[in-house]
């Protein structure tokens, strides 16, 4: 197995942008290069996280207030970091996570318009030390992304989750917030045009991995 230091890579984007497929393809690519890789996700990357995910996704939970939602995502993240991400990196395994903290900033901060300032100390102490080395932000128009989700459900695929039932306006705010992230952190975050074919999107992702990571 490779001697290259392990990297923490995250994929972000609105629902329906195709990032789960891309995360899987990226992990297969890295495994093919002999790099030990763990593919994981938020919410739901741990046993406890799976239970939290069910509560968050269940469309019946309409009475959930935005602060409950926020703290459940955070609880999932802290469990995931300590139980899975940190131990994997410590043993030299690369970690690819389908979503991480940028999703909270975009969905709960941007989409729900919550002031996240009260989380500052917990974010600074418990999350920022594990900032991803690279984040791919898949960009797709919210109208197209929502149409894809509806088609998927109509074709008998995954049903719509509690968040998927939000308005186009909600996803426009989330999309805007991801675009702001790209402006704020151009070194860590790379924009990916998610309107292309699966192969072309994966090519964009692989070509933006720093060359010295794969030596
Ligand atoms: P997924 O289906 O891409 O795994 O994402 C689950 C849903 O949770 C998706 O609608 C985005 C949302 N989400 C947040 O609102 N905040 C977060 O911090 C995370 C990680 C996900």
| Position 130 confidence tier, pLDDT thresholds 50, 70, 90 | very high
Looking at residue 159, its pLDDT comes to 86
Q: Distance of CA 30 to CAs 1, 21, 34, 35, 38, Å?
A: 11, 14, 7, 5, 10
Best CA proximity match to 76, nearest among 45, 33, 55: 45
Closest C-alpha residue for ligand 1 atom 18: 104
Q: Is the predicted pLDDT of residue 147 greater than 80, yes or no? A: yes
- % pLDDT > 90, the chain: 90
How many other CB atoms are found less than 10 A from the CB of residue 9? 22
Whole-number average pLDDT of the chain: 96
| Residue 65 alpha carbon to ligand 1 centre in Å | 16
Q: Is the predicted pLDDT of residue 3 greater than 70, yes or no? A: no
Q: Is the CB of 178 under 6 A from ligand 1?
A: no
Looking at residue 37, its pLDDT comes to 98
Question: What pLDDT digit, counting tens, does each position of 156-198 carry?
Answer: 888 899 888 888 999 999 999 999 999 999 999 999 999 999 9
Q: Which atom of ligand 1 is nearest to the CA of 77?
A: 20
| Residue 215 alpha carbon to ligand 1 centre in Å | 33
| Residue 37 alpha carbon to ligand 1 centre in Å | 22
Q: Which atom of ligand 1 is nearest to the CA of 19?
A: 3
Looking at residue 215, its pLDDT comes to 76
Q: Distance of CA 148 to CAs 115, 142, 155, 201, 205, Å?
A: 30, 10, 10, 16, 21
Looking at residue 10, its pLDDT comes to 98
Asked whether 201 and 193 are in contact (CB, 8 A), the reply is yes
Q: Is the CB of 43 under 6 A from ligand 1?
A: yes
Residue whose CB lies within 8 A of the most ligand 1 atoms, among 122, 163, 174, for a mutation test: 163
Question: What pLDDT digit, counting tens, does each position of 38-71 carry?
Answer: 999 999 999 999 999 999 999 999 999 999 999 9
Q: Pick the residue with more confidence: 211 or 127?
A: 127
Q: Is the CB of 163 under 6 A from ligand 1?
A: yes
Asked whether 153 and 160 are in contact (CB, 8 A), the reply is yes
């Amino acid at each position: 197995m490779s001697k290259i230091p392990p990297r923490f890579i995250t994929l972000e984007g609105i629902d329906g942008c195709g990032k789960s497929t891309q995360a899987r393809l990226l992990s297969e690519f890295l495994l093919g290069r002999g790099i030990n890789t763990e593919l994981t996700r938020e919410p739901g990357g741990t046993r406890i996280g799976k239970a939290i995910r069910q509560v968050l996704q269940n469309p019946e939970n309409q009475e959930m207030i935005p602060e409950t939602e926020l703290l459940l995502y955070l609880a999932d993240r802290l469990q995931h970091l300590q139980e899975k991400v940190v131990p994997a990196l410590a043993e030299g395994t690369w970690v690819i996570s389908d979503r991480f903290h940028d999703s909270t900033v975009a969905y709960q901060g941007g989409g729900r318009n919550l002031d996240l300032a009260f989380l500052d100390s917990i974010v600074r102490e418990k999350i920022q030390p594990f900032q991803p080395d690279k984040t791919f932000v898949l960009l797709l128009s919210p109208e197209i992304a929502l149409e894809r989700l509806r088609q998927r459900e109509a074709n008998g695929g995954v049903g719509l989750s509690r968040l998927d039932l939000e308005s186009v306006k909600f996803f426009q705010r989330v999309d805007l917030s991801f675009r702001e992230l790209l402006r704020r952190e151009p070194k860590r975050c790379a924009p990916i045009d998610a309107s292309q074919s699966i192969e072309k999107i994966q090519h964009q992702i692989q070509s933006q991995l720093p060359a010295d990571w794969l030596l």
